[in-house]
Structure formats: structure tokens, C-alpha cells
Amino acid sequence: MSETLSLAIELISRPSVTPDDCGCQRLMSERLQAIGFNSEKMPFEEVDNLWARRGSEGPLFVFAGHTDVVPSGPLKEWHSPPFQPEIRDGLLYGRGAADMKGSLAAMLTATEAFVADYPDHRGSIGFLITSDEEGPSVNGTVRVVEKLQARNEHIDYCLVGEPSSSQRLGDTVKNGRRGSLNGYLTVFGKQGHVAYPQLADNPLHAFAPVMAQLCNESWDNGNEHFPATSFQISNLNSGTGAENVIPGNLSAKFNFRFSTELSDDIIRQRVTEILDSGSFEYDLRWRLSGQPFLTPQGKLVEAAQYAIRKVSGLTTELSTSGGTSDGRFIAPSGAEVLELGPLNASIHQINECVAVKDLQQLSHMYYHILKKLLA
């Protein structure tokens, strides 16, 4: 059993459902301290965060990740208990195996090997680990980055261990992410009896044509790095449950995944204009989850491409697809940010798993990135 596999098993066995870290960061901190890292706890409210750094000079290369996982779902549907890691047919099963405790294990063993080979390496290595990535993402990475900036610790390169690969390990890395903007809409009507519609005001009927306009709107055409902005309604609720009552109001939640062709201010303005074209009263609140970011070809991208090619022989694809990650909190500081991790096919699913062979290969990739940038 490789060191990476052994550590991954130990991390997965800790039921760290967000925001509970369940001792994962302490385990990582102890191993990092043993190889010369200064380790610092940065708790904010109920969230545990770890900042560990080896060295004081630049450039500063940071591994970023999270120890929290999503809930397991129905236990009876798992082929083995989600927090009792099990290897079957070359796959390691358990909640967090791919997202992202396998990556955390690979980061740590790669760093241990690199420090052993290059104890006097250039610059500094950091670990920014949170237990708030799968939750609201309010008291995790974003708060740590704010604190680091306040004391003038500047991250030059950041590698996030999110599961980026599609068919083979390293075939895809994420060099950017779309922005995410959430809307919370209430449309006001008047409740009444379905037999007397003239005495009521059905918010569903009033909102329907406006909803169709929002769904059919072409927000932009994207660009060479990002697909077109998308609009999706995630929740639509109205009515009392009775079949003979016209509802009094309607609530909707929707999300924009937007490219660098738009700003969140422009989206808000355009949505308001469309809503104002309807004949109803409404209330609209917004929550910005993150701005889009892009890391162009540079030292970090080149190091990752080199490492992947050296370990697996693949020519990797740069992509900005998928959801958000904590990279959105680090990129605005000016850091080059890249996401490289295992296959994402099973993340957040029942029987989440990662290929055992991929864990050690991922550790080798991380090692060669460190070597390229800091040796």
C-alpha cells in the first residue's frame, strides 16, 4: 500500500460532513510540521481552517483544498459504508475519495517527497485547507485569504485539488471558472377560489410569460475561454396543495453561470428589466457566489502540462467548465490558479470512488509541479 493510498484511507475514514473537519486538518498539520512547516489554525465561527507554510521567501506556491464532504445519502444504497473505505477491483470507495481527500493525500505525500529531495528549495510552499467548501463557503477559504492579504502574504501559484479529470487522470485541468449569481424571487398575487378567478390574481399565470422570456433569453455568446452564460431555474414553488385554491404568491430560485463577457451588475439590470415588463409586483434578492476567473498560459499552467505529460504521457486540455470552486476566492489576489485532481465521474454520488493507481500518479504529478516551480 502506497503512502498516498494509506493517507487517503485514513482521511476518508473520518466522517467530516460539512462543516465538521473531524480531525483531518490536525492529521495533516502534524505531518506538515514534521517536515518543517509552520502550522496555524484559522477558525472562523463553526469552520476549521488550516494555514501551513514552509519558507518565508517568494514565490509562494500553495496547495488548496477542503476536508469537508457532502452527506453520504441513503446508507442502504452504498455497497460498503461510506466512511469505512474499501478497495474493490482497483477502486477505493468512500465519501470524499474523489472530492477531495484523495487529492489531499496526494498533495501531502508529494510535498513530503519533494522536501526530502530538495530541503533547500526556492521560495515557499503553503497549504490552505478549509472545512467550508461544500457548505456556504463563507467562513473558509475566503476568510483565510483576507487574513493573509492583511498581513501581506501573497500567493503566486495555487493548485486546487478539485476533481478535474474526465476520462483519464490529467486529461483536463481547470484554468478558470464561470461566475455564479443566484436570484431569489417572490411574485405577489392574490389567493382565491379557482371557480372565481375574477376575485383573485394568479401569480403563476402572471409570471409564466416572463419566465419563458428569461429562459429563452440569449445572455451572451461566450468567448474562446468560456461557454455562453446559462440561466437555470432550480426551484419553483406556489400553491397550498389544494386543487381548488388559486395561490397567493410564487417563489423561484434561479442561477446564472456567467462568462467574462458579462458582469453581475449587467445581469441584475437585464433581469430587472424583464421582470418589470410583467404585470405583477415582486421582490428580488441576489447572492453572488463568485466572479469568473481565468489563468492564462503561464508558469503554473506550463508546469502542470509538463508534469502530466511526464507522468502519464497525456497532453492535457484546459477547461473552464463545471461548477465553482474555492479558486474563485484566491484568483482575485493575483495568483495563478489551476485545478488538477482525479476523475469527477462519481463525485457527490452514492459509491463515490477513485482509482487506486491514480492516487499515486496524482502525487507524482504534484511532485513534478513543485519541482518545476521551486527546485
Catalytic positions are: 68, 133
Residue 211 CB-density burial (10 A; 0-12 exposed, 13-18 middle, 19+ buried): buried
Helix/strand/coil (H/E/C) assignment for every residue in 284-338: EEEEEEECCEECCCCHHHHHHHHHHHHHHCCCCEEECCCCCCCHHHHHHHCCEEE
DSSP-derived secondary structure letter, 59: P
Taking Cα atoms as reference points, which of 46, 44, 39, 56 lies closest to residue 147?
A: 44
**How many whole angstroms separate alpha carbon 110 and alpha carbon 103?**
10
- State whether the Cα torsion 290-296-299-304 is positive or negative: positive
Do 38 and 54 touch, CB atoms closer than 8 A?
yes
Annotate 129-183 with DSSP letters as a single string. EES-TTTT-SSSHHHHHHHHHHTT---SEEEE----BSSSTTSEEESEE-EEEEE
Do 249 and 188 touch, CB atoms closer than 8 A?
yes
**How many whole angstroms separate alpha carbon 270 and alpha carbon 276?**
10
Angle at 14 between CA 12 and CA 19, to 5 degrees: 105
Identity of the residue numbered 349: Q
**Terminal alpha carbon distance of the chain:** 28
Which cell is 345 given?
465521474
- Whether cis (ω within 30° of 0) applies to the bond prior to 59 is yes
**How many whole angstroms separate alpha carbon 257 and alpha carbon 288?**
11
Phi, psi at 84, each rounded to 5°: -120, 85
DSSP-derived secondary structure letter, 47: B
